[in-house]
Amino acid sequence: MRHSFLDLDGISLELSQDGRGPPIIVLHGIEKLTNDPPLFDLLARRARVIAPSHPGFGQSPLPDWVDTVDDLSYLYLDLLDRLDLSDVVLVGLSLGGWVAAEMAVKSIHRLARLVLVSPFGVKPGGREARDVPDIFALPPDEVSRLVWLDRALAPDLLTMPEDAAEQLLKHQEAAALYLWEPYMHNPKLPRRLHRITVPTLVVRGTSDRLISEAHTRAYCDRIPDARSETLAGAGHVPEYEQPALLADRILSFAGFTPAG
């Protein structure tokens, strides 16, 4: 993929791009291990893929005025305007799924389809229910068990190079900033989801221990034209564990020829 930087609202936003054709914007999740995951290459065989690094992730700096998912949603709506994109397939993974949903309730005029993969953002349980385990308080091994089905693919701070470990810790710090309070959700979002009037697909790995079926139902029950699908052989990060299956689901839903 081609890597570049775009000055957007004073942020030197890191962008990864590849492919030609209709645009697919991919918003990454809490696990950003590389700028070139296999999913992007598979999607780029049939479309133009644009994948920004959230402020605080990758090489995108984190200014002091960006500290919520709401901030990210407005930032990426500005990105769509700056790039003058239309008929966009917006794909959000995990944290990125929450961001994508917040974007869509604000404005859909540049969107054609919405794909939410293992999305945070809603709280299906009651006030006192712990709907998502506290990944910021649990030991790393337990977090790995919750996120990954194939733990051999999970990053290991003790064995990875020092610069990679520092980058991973920086990502965890940024994730905590966006996700901590209120924890993993926006209590007002469910009442706004009816504003999403583009076809929407909600995808969940069958072995996801962070996002439950109740989260999927909460999105699908409130988005008028939404349906859900599951991916076998994947936990919370199907973009790494089942990239080919996920790419085919996204491309088929978008009306593109599957990647093969």
Residue 134, classified by CB atoms within 10 Å of its CB into exposed (0-12), middle (13-18) or buried (19+), is exposed
Q: Which tokens hold the place of 85?
A: 């994109």
The chain-wide mean pLDDT, for the chain, equals 95
Q: Are 183 and 121 a contacting pair, CB within 8 Å?
A: no
Per-residue confidence (pLDDT) for residue 98, from 0 to 100: 98
Query: Helix H segments across the chain?
Result: 38-44, 69-83, 95-106, 140-147, 162-179, 213-222, 238-241, 243-254
Question: What is the third-level CATH fold of 2-254?
Answer: Rossmann fold (3.40.50)
Please name the residues in contact with 131: beta carbons below 8 A apart, sequence gap of 6 or more. Answer: 123, 124, 125, 184, 185, 212, 214, 215
2-8: strand order across its sheet: 2-8, 11-18, 48-52, 23-27, 88-93, 111-117, 200-205, 226-231
Q: What are phi and psi of 76, to 5 degrees?
A: -80, -25
Is the separation of the CB atoms in 87 and 112 below 8 Å? yes
SS3 20: coil
Domain ranges in the chain are: 2-254
Spell out, as residue ranges, where the chain has pLDDT lower than 70.
Answer: 258-260
